[in-house]
Amino acid sequence: MTFPVADLSGWVSEPFTAAGYTHDVYRKGEGPGVVLIPEMPGLHPGVLALGNHLVDNGFTVAAPSLFGTPGAPALRPGAVPVLLKGCVAKEFAALTTNADRPVAHYLRALARDLNEKTPGKGVGVIGQCFTGGFALAAAVDDSVLAPVMSQPSVPLALTLKHKRDPGVSEAEMATIEQRARTEGLCVMGLRFSEDAMNTGTCCPL
């Protein structure tokens, strides 16, 4: 089976600083905004292909380069150190349950910035695998209307407790639940049926 791939052609990058962190953000397209959070080990050709698909369907995509080398293949020498660095970095707190992760504050600021620069009443946020739960955490901000979690795996499932933790703090979850009840926030969670890192024990909203 082959999967769509793409390169950085047409993407424009610029640094974006918020919550004490600075990352290059790759932007492309016109229309309502979508923050596309890359999976490990970064903005690889498969993630860029998804970005292009969103652009082709009328969206403006902002993809932050949180780790790794943009455009580099997913399977390559050096990918494992990227994963290990991400696991221990305070920014992602991958091994911590019930955590208010610094990266969530960065992504909320990016969502607000994208919302201000694009048409529509809010933006979508897509997280993938390692970053799946980050999309949910971003939904604390009212600029985010549709967080999509694709096989979220943070906190990493080292124990059953980790598997049952939604990957956000209790305060963040309370805000998200309230938004879902009172503002019509639409949250979507997706997982592969045979994904051992994201089983049916994960907490639903």
| Domains of the chain with CATH codes | 12-190 (3.40.50.1820)
* 30, burial (CB in 10 Å: exposed 0-12, middle 13-18, buried 19+): exposed
What is residue 174's three-state secondary structure? helix
Q: Which residue has the higher pLDDT, 124 or 89?
A: 124
Q: How confident is the model at residue 74 (pLDDT cuts 50, 70, 90)?
A: confident
* 64-73, 76-85, 90-99: the lowest-pLDDT one: 76-85
Q: What is the pLDDT of residue 158?
A: 56
Q: What is the pLDDT of residue 196?
A: 62
Q: What is the pLDDT of residue 162?
A: 52
Judge if pTM exceeds 0.85: yes
pLDDT in tens, 127-186: 998 898 899 999 999 999 999 998 777 777 655 555 567 778 999 999 999 999 999 999
Q: What is the pLDDT of residue 179?
A: 97
Q: How many whole angstroms separate alpha carbon 32 and alpha carbon 82?
A: 31
> Any alpha helices (H) in the chain, and if so which ranges?
45-56, 79-88, 102-117, 132-138, 160-164, 170-182
Q: Tell me which DSSP letter residue 171 carries.
A: H
Query: What's the CA angle centered on 93, arms 87 and 94, to 5 degrees?
Result: 45
Tokens of 202: 């994960």
Q: How many CA atoms lie within 13 A of 199 on its CB side?
A: 12
pLDDT in tens, 14-71: 999 999 999 999 999 999 999 999 998 899 999 999 999 999 999 999 999 999 899 9
Average pLDDT, integer, range 57-86:
85
Q: In 3D, which of 149, 60, 59, 64 has the Cα closest to residue 107?
A: 64
CB 188 within 8 A of CB 149: yes
Q: Tell me which DSSP letter residue 151 carries.
A: S
Q: What is the pLDDT of residue 171?
A: 94
pLDDT at 191 over 70: yes
Q: What is the pLDDT of residue 200?
A: 55
Residues 6+ apart with CB under 8 A from 192: 151, 198
